[in-house]
Amino acid sequence: MENILRPIYQERASHATTLAIIMIEKRQQISPTTDNFDVALLVIVDDSEQELFIKHYEFENKIASLTVISKEELNDSILLGTNRRMVEWVLNGKVLFDRNEYIVDLIDRLRTFPFSERKLKIGIEYGKLIRRYIEGKAFFESKQLLDAYNHIVHALHHLARLEVIDRGFYPEVTVWNQVKQIGPPIYKLYKELIESDESLEKKLELIFLASDFLINSKTEVGAAHILSVMSEKESWYYNELHHHPELKYYSVDLGVILEFLAEKKLISIERVGTKGKEVFHRTYFVEKNY
């Protein structure tokens, strides 16, 4: 298969901006990793202007995909978990071309998982976890049980990914296989949610109670990144936090996590006067003893 595709990837390898080319082959009848294609080629380029570019090919009753991605977009994808296959492709794919050991260095970075990246990734997952949990609880209290179930399943996925990251690993597509080994309480909670014979309402009631404890136990770890950023100066307007180069990754979850941390007394809110009568700006700050 590699021989047939060689003209395609060699042409890409000749480009000065191409950093690496990886091939991922289908190993099972159903292969989410390759979108059920027989083979996937990933081309990483050193070009911030390069938009994600995908082509599909067919040969000898087989199908292949070619994905061209900039190193910046690849890094964001890995950091934000927007395309979880990327980590698997980089770690487990066959390297066909590697300029100046770019892939060697990237794999080393993924395996060592630098603490600064880990801290940021935990914070992002914690923000998503809080949003899903709060929205799920609101649905539960209004008796919208199916919506509540959907949100708590997603919340547990974020909790599972947070646990994996906190242990120094990148979450894989099969994250529950990882959590089964390193986070038994979370795995047990997930199993109870999907396998228990209790009524849906009773299951959700029990899961929300147990989740309260687990989420609170992860607050110190989950909030460490945002609190360290907020400690850089005395107080912040929301817009300043939203546009901070690190906190921008929290996106729409930043507001909900600030409210959650204020409720937990980890940050405080100060009102600043405006021109409007009895209308105040809100500023957020971390207590000096943090």
Decide: 243 and 254 in contact? Cβ < 8 Å: no
Decide: 69 and 42 in contact? Cβ < 8 Å: yes
Domain ranges, residue 134: 115-222
Percent of the chain at pLDDT > 90 equals: 56
Our measurement of the distance from residue 237's CA atom to the centroid of its chain's CA atoms, rounded to an integer in Å, reads 26
Structure tokens at 159: 């909790």
Pair (171, 265) in one structural domain? no
Pair (237, 170) in one structural domain? no
Of 203, 222, 241, the residue that ends a domain is 222
Decide: 127 and 253 in contact? Cβ < 8 Å: yes
Give residue 52's pLDDT.
Answer: 85
Pair (127, 211) in one structural domain? yes
Give residue 239's pLDDT.
Answer: 93
- State pLDDT tens for residues 1-47: 667 778 887 888 889 999 999 999 888 777 777 888 889 999 999 98
- State pLDDT tens for residues 204-219: 999 999 988 889 999 9
Residue pLDDT tens, the chain, 290 long: 667 778 887 888 889 999 999 999 888 777 777 888 889 999 999 987 778 889 999 888 889 999 999 999 999 888 887 777 888 899 889 999 999 999 999 999 888 888 888 999 999 999 999 999 999 999 999 999 999 999 999 999 999 999 999 998 888 767 898 899 888 999 999 998 989 899 999 999 999 999 888 899 999 999 999 999 999 999 999 999 999 998 988 988 999 999 999 999 999 999 888 877 788 889 999 976 55
Decide: 187 and 179 in contact? Cβ < 8 Å: yes
Please, which residues bridge with residue 54 across strands?
67
- d(CA 248, CA 147) in angstroms, rounded, equals 28
| Domains held by the chain: number | 3
Q: For the domain that residue 239 is a member of, what is the CATH number? A: 1.10.10.10
Pair (78, 171) in one structural domain? no
pTM: 0.83
